[in-house]
Structure 1
């Protein structure tokens, strides 16, 4: 199933949620601070080095970017399911104008609250640093709305194996009481650490309907 991610294709870049593809089928969103390695993670998961733009200058993802995936095999005569990945704007980079940051904040909030086809969130966090305010806000939102969340602790190759394991254990300990719908793993796009595990996690989110989802959005 995870091979479906390797068929990802760019669809469009949207400045507002109203410009995104039709709100049907299933999609997983990727969120994270703009220097956490989100674009590199997307490229590694899809095995497509040029899918998401990467740059030495953080904050280049300034729109919501939609990528289509090949539809998974359906059973019982059901039509193929529209499946997508959504790359949300990187958040928290100081050089981005305040007006643009405010716009992103409003649009991301609207997307998370209104998008019915959203089945889960992949949160990109730099393993070398404690959770930032944005990271905590996203986790709290997922907890409050029962939105499944999978955290990629990126840039794990920058730490020793022992230090990376300790960071993962500390995060999971916090999940036990605060974020029961969240999971986490160690990840490195450059070293290939955890790529297969992350692919399976994304596919699990895509193929698992959310509790209370309207049936019209599950076709």
Structure 2
């Protein structure tokens, strides 16, 4: 179980499969270097970033889904721990940012859509909403995608949002974290913080 959560009353959590670029995005948002590895699954416990003097932090939760060299049981345990962490702290979580790889997300979702299977990404999107946490989907690595609008429309379709994606700009944020291109995510986050009367935190997302 994940313990050692800093005593902060407000947080934004970042969730996503292994290797979608969450740690790179965290580095971009905070200016702090996180341990990133070429191997998926380097982050096994939450990285809490409570650098702000305000009662607020960003939390990078471990990647879920396939990880090379990690057994099924351990993988399931990580996912269970993520779910429990979010449930236990839901009242303090202002926003969930689901990070996906724009290049591969549609293939991954479609590959895992069996009769009894809900793909992890789709499941996490609905799970966050079910526990009352607004969600922004940060669609990373968009510099590698040619047909951007088509890809984002397809993603909306898989998430049960009616395309075109542009009407969901508070929910779908195309980014390229490695190049520092994260303005759309910052704008979406700020919109949600404003809705929750947390304008005091907008300065962290400028």
- Aligned match for 2:137, one of 140, 145, 151: 151
Partners of 2:74 and 2:180 lie apart in 1 by 33
Q: Which of residues 161, 166, 171 is equivalent to 2:155?
A: 171
Distance 2:192 2:30 in 1: 15
Instruction: Give the match for residue 97 of structure 1.
Output: 71
Deviations 1:91-125 (A, max 9, x none): 11242133422321221111111102111110111
Give the structure 1 partner of residue 127 of structure 2: 141
Q: Kindly indicate whether residue 48 of structure 2 is the aligned counterpart of residue 66 of structure 1.
A: yes
SS at match of 1:42: helix
Tell me the residue number matched to 2:14: 30
Name the one with the larger helix percent.
2
1:176-187 to structure 2, matched below 5 A, reads: 176=162, 183-187=171-175
- Measured after TM superposition, the shift of residue 148 of structure 1 is 0.5
Greater RCO between the two (CA within 8 Å, min separation 6)? 1
Matched position secondary structure for 1:175: coil
Q: By how many angstroms is 1:200 displaced? A: 3.4
Do 1:172 and 1:183's aligned partners in 2 also have CA atoms closer than 8 Å? no
Aligned counterparts of 2:14 and 2:102: Cα–Cα separation in 1: 16
2:58 is the alignment partner of 1:85: yes
Q: Does 1:202 align with 2:184?
A: no
RMSD: 2.5
**Contact 1:119–1:208, Cα closer than 8 Å, also in 2:** no
CA contact (8 A) 1:128 1:159 kept: yes
Gaps (5+ residues) in structure 2? 110-118, 198-206
CA distance in 2, matches of 1:198, 1:46: 14
Q: How many residues are treated as equivalent by the alignment?
A: 178
| Correspondence for 2:5 | 20
Instruction: Say if 1:206 and 1:18 are closer, same or farther in 2 by CA, change over 3 A.
Output: farther
CA distance in 2, matches of 1:83, 1:19: 15
Unaligned ranges ≥5, structure 1? 1-15, 72-80, 211-219
